[in-house]
């Protein structure tokens, strides 16, 4: 799965979100996502992260080894 596909998957699961995907180790399996989304308002950080993880449930089982998140309510 490419970084663009990961970005698209999050954006589809969280319509209207702004997503930036980084690959700091350049290995394709240790990914950082910065996600800005109005739906995060009044949600705890844990709830925000769960919302993102839910969009990548299958990918986290096999394709993505580690996902770092930064979530922001807009």
Instruction: Tell whether 74 is covered by a domain.
Output: no
State the first-to-last Cα distance of the chain, in angstroms, to the nearest integer.
Answer: 28
Task: Please report whether residue 47 resides in a domain.
Answer: yes
Here the CATH number for the domain that contains residue 55 is: 3.30.300.90
The pLDDT tens digits for 17-35 are 999 999 999 988 889 999 9
Burial of 12 (0-12, 13-18, 19+ CB in 10 A): exposed
SS3 25: coil
Displacement of CA 62 from its chain's centroid (Å): 16
In a domain, 63, yes or no: yes
Of 10, 47, 15, nearest to 32 (Cα)? 10
Select the more confidently predicted residue: 24 or 1.
24
Q: Give percent of the chain above pLDDT 70.
A: 100
The reply to whether 64 falls in a domain is yes
Enclosing domain of residue 23: 3-69
Residue 28 within any structural domain of the chain: yes
* Three-class secondary structure of residue 62 per DSSP: helix
Which pLDDT value is given to residue 7? Answer: 98
pTM listed for this prediction: 0.92
Domain count, the chain: 1
Q: Is the pLDDT of residue 5 over 90?
A: yes
């Amino acid at each position: 799965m490419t970084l663009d596909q990961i970005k698209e998957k999050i954006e589809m699961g969280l319509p209207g979100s702004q997503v930036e995907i980084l690959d700091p180790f350049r290995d394709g399996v240790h990914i950082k996502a910065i996600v800005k989304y109005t739906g995060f308002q009044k949600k705890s950080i844990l709830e925000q992260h769960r919302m993102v993880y839910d969009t990548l449930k299958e990918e986290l089982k096999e394709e993505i080894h580690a996902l770092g998140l930064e979530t922001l309510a807009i």
